[in-house]
Amino acid sequence: MLIHVVRSGDTLWQIASRYNVNINSIIEINGLQFPNQLVIGQSLIIPVSGTTHVIKSGETLWSIAQKYGVTTNSIIQANQLTNPNLLYPGTKLIIPPLTYVVQSGDTLSIIARRFGTTVQAIVRENHIQDPNLIHVGTHLIIPRPKPTIEVNAYTYQGSEQAAANSINEVGRHLTYLSPFAYMIKEDGTLEPFPDRLAISAAYANNVVPMMSITNFTSTSLGSNLANKILASRELSEKVLTNAIKVMDEKGYRGLNVDFENVLPEDRENYNRFMQMAVDRLHPKGYFVSSALAPKTSATQSGLLYTAHDYAAHGRIADFVVLMTYEWGYRLGPPQAISPINQMRRVIQYAASVMPPEKIFLGFQIYARDWVLPHVKGQSARTFGVQEAVRLAVTHNATIHYDEATQSPHFRYVDNEGKEHEVWFEDARSAQAKFDLVKEFNLRGVSYWALGYAYPQNWALLEDNFNVKKLI
């Protein structure tokens, strides 16, 4: 797939003609609500075979062509390059698809083995009706091999049915589902919440349900609660006993521990709790994971960070979810919610103290709208990516893209004359995050949270990866 950024004067008809694709296919894959009203800076996924490559320092056209198995001439033609010897780092090139002409004696299985792909992938890419019938001389597009990852998604939707609907909609893209969350009480019991429909929908979509326990709410930091539980071996055991009971009864396959705002002095107690969880759950065939604040070094201090021991959790847990979002906090000033430059720093540190195959990159799929000028403590409005695009179209706002954070943003003036600043996600920012996953060979992606429409993300996820299914 390719990503097109709308320029002044662009129409959907012109864009479709340029890439030789059907207009409706662009509308559908992007979930366009206003196909006749595009705004400058809006990113669109173009459903064509091929990909893009960002030129790195020292690369040549020949080395890039070799990497993708295509000819230099095909890259020159696809990009209309006038001087192929003049490549600038950071420039994006369109890489045409890999093609193959069917020879006598070929079968799809032979072709698939030759190129390291699957028959199903070739069939899907070329819309083949009968896989057993291919004709000599047919030009086939060969899908490039994709890494296989695991994908988790949290859901905290208010309606149990809404959560089930979300899972049914995107469940084919998920490995795990984490309904959020069972609140721990001071006596070691757990506050229940309606999750049966979500669990049922997970199983219907071959998604592993993962139980989430936490110590905090939107109105309570939970530091003292965590201290009470973690400092007491008896209460820690009671929490785990109650968690196991829920898992056994409801069909959860694993546990996700999300203790936040843990007091610095409880760091070793938290590590002990994680080891206790593994010792209790592994014999029953359950896995254990944790959600960790986005640290960039072992010495990073503060209520969010000190007690989150990356090295220990990486050693003890089966995997960890890095909460690489919320730089653009709802009560803070407007900025990118998930800036790629900060996410990279977190991943670099995490990968230095734990195996990358244990790391999930946290990925937020919502937008925020701040009223300007920002007043300390004033809360931004949180909503879906599609709503952000609707706002931009409604107010004819130009969408800008911050290269450092790889995040789109825009400003508009509401009906009361108040200025707003919106930061959100689009196709470009999603692709940047997927590139980070591939660069560091991470285990996968963890979404916070279902319930926000973001069709571009799911299309690009499928284009970049094979999603592992465990059931």
* Residues 250-274 pLDDT 10s: 999 999 999 999 999 999 999 999 9
Please report the pLDDT score of residue 216 as a whole number: 87
In the predicted model, what is the mean pLDDT of residues 178-207?
Answer: 97
Please report the pLDDT score of residue 85 as a whole number: 87
The fourth-level CATH superfamily of domain 1-50 is LysM domain (3.10.350.10)
Confidence band for 377, pLDDT divided at 50, 70 and 90: confident
Distance from C-alpha of 461 to C-alpha of 1, rounded to nearest angstrom:
11
Helix axes 455-464 and 427-439, enclosed angle (nearest 10): 30
Q: Please determine, for residue 218, whether its predicted confidence score (pLDDT) is greater than 80.
A: no
Please give the distance of CA 218 from its chain centroid, rounded to a whole number: 23
Strand partners, 381: 369
* Close Cβ partners of 404 (under 8 Å, ≥ 6 residues apart): 339, 341
Please report the pLDDT score of residue 328 as a whole number: 97
Please report the pLDDT score of residue 175 as a whole number: 98
Is 260 an annotated catalytic residue? yes
- The residue type at 212: S
In the predicted model, what is the mean pLDDT of residues 20-36?
Answer: 96
User: Is the domain covering 99-141 a CATH 3.10.350.10 domain?
Assistant: yes
User: Is the domain covering 149-467 a CATH 3.20.20.80 domain?
Assistant: yes
The full set of domain ranges for the chain reads 1-50, 51-94, 99-141, 149-467
Output the CA torsion sign for 198, 203, 206, 212. positive
* Close Cβ partners of 101 (under 8 Å, ≥ 6 residues apart): 137, 138, 139, 140
In the predicted model, what is the mean pLDDT of residues 43-51?
Answer: 92
Distance from C-alpha of 446 to C-alpha of 19, rounded to nearest angstrom:
32
Q: Please determine, for residue 321, whether its predicted confidence score (pLDDT) is greater than 90.
A: yes
| 387 DSSP 8-state letter | H
- Residue 388's CB is within 10 A of a number of other CB atoms, namely 26
Average the pLDDT over each of 79-83, 391-395, 406-410 and give the range with the smallest value. Answer: 79-83
Average the pLDDT over each of 48-52, 112-116, 179-183, 232-236 and give the range with the smallest value. Answer: 48-52
Helix (H) or strand (E) run with residue 243 in it: helix 233-250
Q: Which of 260, 387, 421, 425 is an active site residue?
A: 260
Tokens of residue 222, six digits: 């939970």
Write out pLDDT tens, residues 278-309. Answer: 999 999 999 999 999 999 999 999 999 999 99
Write out pLDDT tens, residues 74-118. Answer: 999 989 899 988 899 988 898 999 999 999 999 999 999 999 899
Q: Please determine, for residue 219, whether its predicted confidence score (pLDDT) is greater than 90.
A: no
In the predicted model, what is the mean pLDDT of residues 110-128?
Answer: 92
Q: Please determine, for residue 433, whether its predicted confidence score (pLDDT) is greater than 90.
A: yes
Contact 163, 450 (CB under 8 A): yes
In 3D, which of 135, 113, 132, 114 has the Cα closest to residue 123?
132
Please report the pLDDT score of residue 463 as a whole number: 93
The overall average pLDDT reported for the chain is 96
Domains 1-50 and 51-94 share a fold: yes
The fourth-level CATH superfamily of domain 51-94 is LysM domain (3.10.350.10)
Please report the pLDDT score of residue 288 as a whole number: 98
Distance from C-alpha of 309 to C-alpha of 138, rounded to nearest angstrom:
56
| Residue 12, helix vs strand vs coil | helix
| Residue 254, helix vs strand vs coil | strand
Which percentage of the chain shows pLDDT scores above 90?
90
Please report the pLDDT score of residue 126 as a whole number: 93
